[in-house]
């Protein structure tokens, strides 16, 4: 849910915005409060979770000046509205609001209201989550009025369910009324609050901190973002810089016989017309000039990043991290622009995760960046308000091409930064006297890059889930699948992988929902608990134990089922929050409460349960028939090789490009001494000597991971003999059957995908001569 949804008014409710969003008012036009005044209150409440917005307005109406008069309007609204009729809940809520209106004046000042609502809404009913609350507080840091003006243009629609919202808005005060049913009881609870001074208002995280954290959570940008804070600490570049200018203001500095007519001394107008014109014509008239105090003009910084072949890998990642750190420094007042230079130059954007990932991927096969720098200088002429910085690998800075640029344009670069694969950063300052080393330090890159792996491991303790997030859908083989239909949805269990069917007619592929550690169970079923969370039932007929896996929370519960026997109804099936298992003499019910229980009842169940079972099994049979003839899936990887021409061989198959689509087809016998073979590391994972790897996920997905950290992982579903697809970064190529409709991806052609991702992956392996 977007932050703007929190502020969206309900249809024909007791409050509304004025046309400019500056005032929140009753439906008759009387003012409730000024919109901007709520900014501080919302930021103060965000650290404990925000109440519904209308609930906050009710409290502010009661606690503010003329609170009793405002409550009369709210009471009249509930008495006369046919859409929102008065109930016991609203009556109790208004009684409590009247208690608030009678509180002493100390609770009616701006600071007092903040402290009061913090007390009232602490762990209240229908409280917003902390993450969403802080997101709202950060969004309105520009000012609530400005935020609403910018956001409400796309939010013309009112809230969808006003009746339910109405109940929620008043119920909080109804609950409070049951707890504090008199003014004395409320004052007794409030007496322990500290004396009012300044309200504690949380500092809204500035954009760089939130943004860097967000980049660190993204695998494609993690290696760059993880270095930023260390660079902030270690790199001594100025972050506040301005150039002096002048602006004519202040007193009179001097007189002269030159100037514009608006600067004529007023005494010149005392002459008669003829003398006046004569003095101007003969340049005898006197003009004044004003004092010119210095002013500060905006300063710009251009950072050129060398992406030539020597800078690939770690040096380029460090260079990108320096660009990100200088532009996102919380105290920086300098406008920073970045460019990648090789044979040409390319603008770099770092405004989003996708932009940063794209900037990291920039690479050029030139030996040095002198040609790109030369072209950039011609297109972007230097000026006094712009500082130029060039970042390159240590040896590249000493290349003849770069040194020629330095000599040809003396004083052009204010700084040059040398980076190395070990994490060393050297800062040089250039001036008319030559080059001087300012500082040199080394980033602990291996320590910084390992930190997130530890955090990820902690999050998954005692939980099972999928090992990867796959930005592309899977194909399904018709062999050995277990259909698990529920309501209008279809799930399929294939091996240890649970998939969800994404289209009723099978027009798109499957999403991987869950992975079992091992497939040792005999029977499976799927259902939903009262919270509408998916529950996977797995039954082991040998141990007679049921395992219930909550696919939303990843919690696992195990139940012994000693009463189980073989039956003419051999499957568990699900009806109304319960699993049923039926035999000829009794039936068992697995009730999905907070703690699931099993009960066994003697006799035959109702006919409705037996009919439901029959329908369930017919549906399962239909699904099996529908998928039985589907193409096989490659799920085991014994041999991986790459030919000198760039073909990838997988067991007895190879990856080809045919008619604009990738396919995995039979290759036959391809053993050859010219092939580069991957070394088997563990199950379905083969690694090449440069560190690149090809992994086959057991659910049927190929992952191509390069040792070049600037190249993203490539994902390819391993359906054999038919056109497939591939994804890297946010780019998708291939048949639309595999595109995930929940993701917004760029669809590109196979040729572009080859040149951007697959060929660089292959060439990185072949470039180091890894043939075996």
**For residue 464, what pLDDT is reported?**
41
Asked if residue 24 belongs to a domain, the reply is: yes
Q: How far is CA 362 from CA 318, 341, 711, 728, 756, in A?
A: 13, 9, 9, 14, 10
Q: Can you give the pLDDT at residue 757? A: 93
Question: Using an 8 Å Cβ cutoff, are 54 and 10 in contact?
Answer: yes
- Do 328 and 439 fall within a single domain? yes
How far is 350 from 305, CA to CA, in rounded Å?
A: 14
- Regions of the chain with pLDDT less than 70: 1, 82-85, 153-168, 192-210, 239-251, 291-298, 432, 450-468, 504-506, 519-521, 628-629, 668-674, 769-772
Whether residue 653 sits in one domain with residue 738: yes
Flag whether 476 is in a domain. Answer: no
Any idea which residue has 């000046």 for tokens? 65
Same-domain pairing of 644 and 615:
no
Judge whether 546 lies within some domain. yes
How many independent structural domains does the chain possess?
5
Q: How far apart are CA 264 and CA 259, in angstroms?
A: 8
pLDDT score, position 167: 63
Tell me the three state secondary structure of residue 585: coil
pTM of the model: 0.42
Yes or no: say if 538 and 524 are a contact pair by the CB < 8 Å rule: yes
Predicted local distance difference test score (pLDDT) of residue 413? 86
Domain with 131, as residue range(s), is 3-190
Which pLDDT value is given to residue 198?
Answer: 41
Query: What integer pLDDT is reported at residue 669 of this predicted model?
Result: 61
Q: What is the pLDDT of residue 87?
A: 77
**Residue 668, pLDDT score:** 67
How do residues 272-323 score in pLDDT, each as one tens digit? 889 988 988 888 898 887 765 544 455 788 999 998 888 888 888 899 999 9
Do 612 and 735 lie in a common domain? no
Same-domain pairing of 704 and 591: no
Q: Kindly state the DSSP code that residue 362 receives in the 8-state scheme.
A: -
Q: What DSSP state is assigned to residue 741?
A: T
CATH number at residue 598: 2.110.10
Instruction: Classify 49 in phi/psi space as left (phi over 0), alpha (psi -120 to 50) or beta.
Output: left
The pLDDT, as a whole number, for residue 725 is 94
> Is residue 464 in some structural domain?
no
Q: Got the DSSP string for 670-711? A: ---TT-EEPEEEETTEEE-TTS-EEEEETTTEEEEE-SSTTS
pLDDT at residue 39 in the model: 85
User: Which string of b and e fits 87-103 if b means at least 16 CB within 10 Å?
Assistant: eebbebbbebbbbbbeb
The answer to whether residues 518 and 604 belong to one domain is: yes
Sign of CA dihedral 124, 129, 131, 133: negative
Of 446, 473, 505, the domain-final residue: 446
Alpha carbon 329 to its chain's center? 20
- The pLDDT of residue 462 is 34
Is residue 465 helix, strand or coil?
coil
407 lies in a domain?
Answer: yes
Examine the domain organization and report whether 386 and 422 are in the same domain: yes
Do 419 and 534 belong together in one domain? no
On whether residue 124 sits in a domain, the answer given is yes
Closest CA to 31 of 2, 60, 56, 9: 60
Interatomic CA distance for residues 133 and 273, integer angstroms:
73
Say what the pLDDT of residue 202 is.
42
| Residues 351 and 419 placed together within one structural domain of the fold | yes
With residue 443 as reference, give the H or E element that holds it: none
Tell me the CB-side half-sphere exposure of residue 131, using CA atoms within 13 A: 3
Distance CA 61, CA 457 (A): 48
Q: What is the pLDDT of residue 306?
A: 92
pLDDT at 246 (0 to 100): 46
The verdict on residue 474 lying in a domain is no
DSSP 643: -
Last residue of a domain, one of 446, 467, 489: 446
The answer as to whether 462 is a domain residue is no
Residues 317 and 437 in one domain: yes
Residue 145's pLDDT is 80
Task: Collect all residues with Cβ–Cβ distance below 8 Å to 727 and sequence separation of at least 6.
Answer: 471, 472, 714, 715, 733, 745
Q: Which of 3, 229, 37, 22 has the alpha carbon at shortest distance from 138?
A: 3
Task: Please tell me whether residues 606 and 680 are part of one structural domain.
Answer: no
Comparing CA positions, the residue from 504, 700, 468 lying closest to residue 619 is 504
Choosing from 627, 657, 678, the residue where a domain stops is 627
Token pair recorded at residue 301? 């910084």
Which residues neighbour 407 within 8 Å (Cβ) at sequence distance 6 or greater? Answer: none
């Amino acid at each position: 849910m977007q932050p703007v949804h929190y502020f969206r008014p309900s249809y024909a409710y007791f409050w509304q915005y004025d046309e400019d969003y500056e005032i929140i008012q009753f439906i008759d036009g009387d003012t409730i409060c000024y919109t901007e005044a709520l900014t501080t209150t919302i930021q103060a409440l965000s650290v404990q979770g925000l109440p519904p917005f209308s609930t906050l307005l009710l409290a502010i109406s009661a606690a503010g000046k003329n609170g009793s008069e405002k409550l009369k309007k709210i009471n009249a609204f509930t008495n006369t509205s046919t859409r929102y009729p008065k109930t016991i809940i609203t009556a109790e809520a208004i009684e409590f609001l009247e208690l608030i209106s009678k509180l002493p004046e100390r609770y009616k000042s701006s600071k007092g209201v903040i402290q009061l609502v913090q007390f009232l809404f602490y762990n209240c009913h229908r409280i917003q989550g902390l993450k969403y609350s802080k997101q709202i507080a950060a969004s309105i840091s520009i000012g609530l009025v400005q935020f609403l003006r910018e956001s409400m243009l796309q939010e013309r629609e009112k809230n969808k369910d006003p009746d339910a919202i109405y109940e929620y808005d008043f119920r909080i005060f109804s609950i409070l009324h049951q707890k504090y049913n008199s003014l004395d009881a409320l004052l007794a609870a409030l007496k322990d609050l500290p004396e009012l001074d300044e309200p504690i208002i949380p500092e809204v995280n500035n954009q760089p901190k939130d943004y860097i954290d967000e980049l660190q959570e993204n695998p494609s940008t993690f290696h760059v973002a993880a270095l930023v804070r260390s660079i902030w600490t270690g790199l001594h570049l100025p972050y506040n810089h301005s150039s002096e200018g002048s602006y004519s203001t202040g007193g009179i500095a001097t007189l002269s016989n030159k100037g514009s007519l608006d600067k004529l001394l007023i005494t010149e107008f005392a002459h008669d017309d003829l003398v006046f014109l004569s003095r101007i014509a003969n340049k005898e008239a006197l003009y004044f000039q004003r004092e010119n105090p210095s002013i500060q003009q905006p300063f710009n910084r251009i950072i050129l990043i060398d992406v030539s072949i020597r800078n690939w890998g770690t040096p380029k990642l460090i260079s990108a991290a320096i660009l990100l750190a200088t532009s996102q420094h919380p105290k920086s007042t300098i406008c920073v622009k970045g460019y990648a230079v090789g044979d040409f130059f390319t603008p770099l954007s770092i405004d989003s995760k996708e932009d940063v990932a794209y900037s990291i991927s920039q690479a050029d096969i030139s030996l040095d960046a002198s040609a790109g720098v030369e072209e950039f200088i011609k297109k972007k002429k230097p000026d006094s308000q712009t500082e130029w910085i060039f970042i390159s690998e240590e040896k590249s800075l000493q290349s003849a091409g770069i040194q020629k640029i330095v000599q040809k344009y003396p004083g052009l670069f204010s700084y040059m930064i040398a980076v190395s694969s070990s994490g060393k950063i050297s800062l040089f300052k250039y001036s008319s006297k030559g080059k001087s080393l300012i500082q040199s330090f080394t980033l602990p890159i291996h320590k910084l890059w390992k930190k997130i792996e530890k955090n990820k491991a902690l999050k998954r303790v005692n939980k099972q889930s999928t090992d990867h997030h796959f930005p592309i859908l899977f194909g399904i083989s018709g062999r050995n699948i277990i259909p698990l239909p529920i309501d209008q949805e279809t799930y399929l269990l294939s091996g240890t992988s649970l998939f969800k069917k994404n289209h009723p007619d099978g027009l798109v592929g499957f999403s991987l929902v869950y992975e079992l550690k091992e497939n040792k169970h005999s029977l499976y079923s799927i259902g939903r608990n009262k919270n509408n969370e998916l529950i996977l039932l797995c039954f082991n007929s040998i141990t007679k134990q049921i395992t219930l896996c909550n696919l939303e929370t990843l919690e696992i519960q195990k139940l012994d089922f000693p009463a189980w026997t073989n039956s003419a109804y051999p499957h568990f099936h699900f009806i109304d929050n319960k699993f049923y298992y039926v035999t000829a003499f009794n039936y068992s019910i697995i009730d999905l409460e907070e703690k699931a229980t099993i009960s066994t009842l003697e006799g035959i169940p109702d006919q409705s349960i037996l009919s439901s079972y029959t329908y369930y099994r017919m549906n399962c049979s239909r699904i099996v028939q529908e998928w039985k003839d589907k193409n096989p899936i490659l799920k085991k990887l014994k041999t991986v090789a790459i030919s000198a021409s760039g073909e990838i061989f997988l067991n007895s198959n190879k990856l080809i490009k045919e008619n604009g689509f990738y396919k995995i087809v039979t290759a036959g016998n391809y053993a050859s001494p010219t092939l580069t073979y991957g070394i088997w590391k563990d199950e379905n994972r083969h690694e090449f000597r440069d560190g690149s790897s090809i992994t086959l996920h057991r659910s049927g997905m190929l992952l191509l991971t390069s040792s070049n950290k600037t190249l993203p992982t490539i994902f390819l579903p391993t359906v054999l003999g038919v056109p497939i697809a591939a994804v890297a970064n946010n780019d998708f190529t291939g048949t639309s059957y595999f595109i995930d409709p929940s993701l917004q991806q760029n669809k590109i052609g196979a040729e572009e995908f080859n040149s951007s991702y697959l060929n660089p992956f292959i060439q990185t392996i072949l470039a180091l001569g890894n043939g075996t």
